[in-house]
């Protein structure tokens, strides 16, 4: 079985298609550079200082991107196998509520709360994977249902309202160690959410480079039937992918709760669309089989920089929506031009 | 060198790390700003940042419009607007962007208290005066709060029902706002306390319309079927009251009962017009405070004065007798 599998091209082989292919492969990185340079040019200045590249502002940009970025990494895996996960925003809300309720109302410790919340995300995702891989329902439908279910669970768990998190050692207080995740910075330099996002992104890139799972992933996304015939464990791959996506969504939910000192059942509404946008701008094909985590990270940062520079210039929020929409269309249009590998 | 730095910074992961490493998040807590520090008097130019929770709600659109209109009268003011679209995380980023822009004063109508408290404090600690509108933040790291009193508004509505609409008693149906929202709880509480004065009034049913016209209509459809005798419909806002009116009209029962709402927005689709046109018996103003916010900003920045820590604006009863007059007052340009 393995020698058949070995004939499936690796992502590295797929990418080696000349200069043009490389350009397209890294379109989001070049896009990010372009937007970054444009942001510097169009940045408002105060007393000769370019506000956009001030350290505080760049930290704000990457911190604001972290949650969507973490979700988008998981979303990349799902889209690589030709699926979609619409439930991530609701799972984020469920995880945010879960962290708050467990630590504040149930007085759980830091580690057990976080582990349980992560496990919930993992199992939730895995169940969605089971429904799409074993029962054969389209992932769009499965996760649309998952969105409703997670949102409903979040509302039930929280009693329908936001659960405020305050820190301390007393009853009805979250342990102070939890606050470190959101507020403080590592060594006074890097905001923790950014560290978590970087860690997730690097782990995902490395994972895709070294594991056989990566080959299975691209194979399932490229041609599911062919993959199955070549002995790729399609069902297991799909369940694993949705489980990873659910796990990362709930990790983002924990980060979300701690950054806002609250877990609300309405957190994360529409985040799935931002994550999909980051993946698409990152050059991952919605048809599956083609794309990269690095592209997604660049896509998420591009959206973050764009959001930031539009806000710094006080562009009307409706115009902001318009511009972001056009960027997504442009990214998708570029992909159509990309030569087949 | 510069271009090298830019290209480095722009590559995906590098940008992440670079930006992260550049962080110098200083935290100067405790130092509360004196109003005079930001005051450059009448000759100064001031940039004001307005952070709105969600412009998609007509009430909040009107709040922005009121601020815009009032600021036009102050030549020194330049007001920027940001819309958080009901997302706490987005509103935090909006305020952080204002801090980056080094605005002279922040006006914020928070989406929710707890998630916005820290960033409002951050702005305040950096010496930016902060005026909080409509919904509060926690703690005391702000310059002034301006808002309405929802308990009092509910109570006025209850009094109106007890004394004017149903002096000899009757059946009331209550259409509530979104569950878990503070105004919903307060508008309910004030109302219930006030109708106690007339023990012959009974609230026979209630339902949640989530502040929405269509939801109010759907809920009323069911309530009408279940309750043969309804005398008053008390809705927590005007859109739900209008929805209830439409439901009653659809089954020909709109003349049997009175409808009252809350908010009284002076816009064509708002409650004042609905009263003027006879669909609602009454509505109660919930002031947007936009005008008052700019007045407070002027006091702080231009007059170098101080403002009240908490300014609660009274509600007004709008009924057939004053609707047209008040609508005209609120829209002087037509």
Q: DSSP readout, B249-268?
A: HHTT-TTTSEEE-SB---ST
Q: Quick check: B136 pLDDT over 90?
A: no
Q: What is the DSSP string of A231-245?
A: T--HHHHHHHHHHHH
Across the interface, whether the CB atoms of A311 and B94 are under 8 A apart is answered yes
- Buried b or exposed e, range A248-279, using 16+ CB within 10 angstroms: bbbbbbbbbbbbbbbbbbbbbbebbebbbbbb
pLDDT tens track for A19-30: 777 777 778 899
B25/B51: higher pLDDT? B51
Across the interface, whether the CB atoms of A32 and B12 are under 8 A apart is answered yes
Query: Any chain A CB within 8 A of the CB of B7?
Result: yes
- Phi/psi at B212 (5° precision): -105, 140
Which positions 27-66 of A are in contact with B (Cβ < 8 Å)? 28-29, 32-33, 36-37, 40, 44, 46, 51, 54-62, 64
Mean pLDDT of B64-81: 96
Q: What is d(CA A179, CA A181) in angstroms, rounded to the nearest whole number?
A: 5
At B131 the pLDDT is 97
Q: Which residues of A touch B88 (CB under 8 A)?
A: 260, 262, 264, 267
- Buried b or exposed e, range A168-197, using 16+ CB within 10 angstroms: eeeeeebbeebbebbbebeeebbbbbbbbb
Q: In this predicted structure, which of A54-68, B7-21, B300-314 has the lowest mean pLDDT?
A: B7-21
At A340 the pLDDT is 59
Q: What is the DSSP string of A39-77?
A: HHHH--EETTEEGGGSHHHHHHHHHHHHHHHHHHHHHHH
Which positions 94-113 of B are in contact with A (Cβ < 8 Å)? 94, 96-97, 99-102, 112
pLDDT tens track for A130-165: 999 999 999 999 999 999 999 999 999 998 788 888
Across the interface, whether the CB atoms of A183 and B118 are under 8 A apart is answered yes
ipTM of the complex, rounded to two decimals? 0.82
pLDDT tens track for A308-324: 999 999 998 889 999 99
Average per-residue pLDDT in chain B?
A: 88
pLDDT tens track for A70-95: 999 999 999 999 999 999 999 999 99
Q: Quick check: B3 pLDDT over 80?
A: no
pLDDT tens track for B229-258: 999 999 999 999 999 999 999 999 999 999
At A13 the pLDDT is 43
Across the interface, whether the CB atoms of B20 and A55 are under 8 A apart is answered no
Query: Any chain A CB within 8 A of the CB of B92?
Result: yes
At A10 the pLDDT is 46
For residue B155 the two structure tokens come to: 């109570």
Query: Any chain A CB within 8 A of the CB of B48?
Result: no
CA B246 to chain centre: 26
At A266 the pLDDT is 87
What is the band of A5 on the pLDDT scale with cuts at 50, 70, 90? Answer: very low
pLDDT tens track for A96-107: 999 999 999 999
Across the interface, whether the CB atoms of B101 and A56 are under 8 A apart is answered no
Indicate the pTM of the whole model. Answer: 0.83
Q: Quick check: B69 pLDDT over 80?
A: yes
Query: Any chain A CB within 8 A of the CB of B210?
Result: no
| B201 bridge partner residues | B170
Q: What is the DSSP string of B263-322?
A: B---STTSHHHHHHTTS-SEEEB----HHHHHHHHHHHHTS-----SEEEEPP-EEETTT
């Amino acid at each position: 079985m393995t020698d058949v599998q070995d004939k499936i091209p690796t992502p590295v082989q797929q990418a080696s298609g000349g200069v043009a292919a490389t350009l397209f492969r890294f379109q989001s990185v070049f896009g990010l550079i372009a937007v970054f340079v444009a942001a510097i040019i169009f940045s408002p200045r105060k007393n000769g200082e370019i506000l956009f590249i001030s350290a505080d502002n760049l930290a704000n940009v990457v911190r604001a991107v972290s949650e969507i970025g973490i979700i988008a990494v998981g979303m990349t895996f799902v889209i690589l196998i030709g699926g979609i996960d619409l439930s991530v925003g609701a799972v984020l809300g469920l995880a945010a509520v879960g962290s708050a309720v467990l630590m504040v109302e149930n007085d759980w410790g830091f580690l057990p709360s976080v582990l349980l919340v992560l496990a919930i995300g993992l199992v939730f995702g895995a169940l969605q994977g089971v429904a799409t891989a074993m029962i054969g329902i389209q992932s769009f439908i499965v996760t649309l249902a998952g969105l409703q279910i997670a949102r409903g669970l979040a509302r039930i768990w929280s009693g329908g309202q936001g659960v405020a998190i305050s820190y301390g050692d007393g009853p009805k207080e979250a342990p102070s160690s939890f606050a470190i995740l959101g507020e403080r910075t590592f060594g006074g330099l890097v905001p923790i959410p950014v560290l978590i996002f970087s860690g997730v992104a690097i782990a995902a890139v490395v994972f895709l480079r070294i594991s056989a799972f990566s080959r299975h992933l691209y194979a399932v996304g490229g041609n599911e039937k062919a993959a199955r015939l070549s002995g790729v464990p399609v069902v297991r791959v799909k369940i694993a992918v949705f489980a990873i996506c659910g796990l990362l969504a709930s990790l983002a939910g924990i980060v979300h709760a701690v950054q806002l000192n609250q877990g609300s059942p309405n957190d994360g509404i529409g985040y799935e669309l931002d994550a999909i946008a980051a993946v698409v701008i990152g050059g991952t094909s919605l048809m599956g089989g083609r794309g990269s985590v690095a592209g997604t990270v660049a896509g998420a940062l591009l959206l973050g920089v764009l959001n930031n520079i539009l806000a710094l210039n006080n562009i009307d929020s409706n115009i902001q929506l318009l511009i972001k929409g056009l960027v997504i269309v442009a990214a998708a249009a570029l992909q159509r031009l990309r030569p087949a590998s | 060198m510069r271009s090298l730095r830019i290209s480095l910074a722009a590559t995906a992961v590098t940008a992440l790390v670079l930006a992260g490493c550049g962080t110098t998040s200083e935290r100067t807590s405790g130092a509360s700003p004196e109003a005079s520090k930001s005051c450059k008097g009448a000759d100064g130019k001031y940039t004001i940042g307005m952070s709105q929770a969600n412009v998609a709600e007509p009430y909040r659109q009107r709040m922005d419009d009121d601020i815009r209109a009032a600021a036009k009268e102050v030549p020194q003011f330049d007001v920027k607007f940001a819309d958080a679209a009901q997302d706490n995380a987005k509103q935090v980023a909006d305020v952080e962007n204002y801090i980056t822009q080094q605005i002279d004063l922040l006006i914020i109508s928070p989406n929710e208290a707890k998630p916005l408290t820290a960033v409002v404090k951050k702005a305040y600690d950096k010496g930016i005066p902060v005026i909080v509108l409509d919904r509060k933040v926690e703690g005391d790291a702000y310059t002034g709060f301006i808002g309405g009193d929802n308990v009092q508004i509910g109570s006025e509505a209850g009094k109106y029902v007890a004394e004017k609409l149903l002096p000899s008693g009757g059946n009331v149906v209550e259409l509530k706002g979104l569950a878990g929202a503070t105004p919903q709880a307060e508008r309910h509480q004030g109302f219930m306390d006030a109708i106690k004065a007339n023990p012959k009034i009974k609230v026979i049913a209630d339902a949640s319309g989530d502040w929405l016209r269509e939801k109010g209509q759907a809920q009323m459809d069911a309530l009408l079927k279940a309750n043969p005798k309804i005398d008053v419909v008390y809705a927590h806002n005007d859109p739900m009251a209008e929805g209830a009116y439409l439901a009653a009209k659809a089954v020909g029962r709109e003349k049997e009962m009175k409808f009252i709402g809350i908010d009284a927005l002076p816009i064509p689709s708002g409650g004042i017009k609905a009263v003027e046109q006879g669909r609602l018996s009454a509505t109660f103003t919930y002031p947007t405070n936009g005008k008052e916010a700019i007045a407070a900003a002027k006091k702080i920045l231009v007059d170098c004065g101080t403002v009240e820590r908490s300014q609660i604006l009274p509600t007004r009863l709008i009924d057939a007798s004053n609707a047209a007059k008040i609508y005209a007052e609120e829209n002087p340009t037509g």
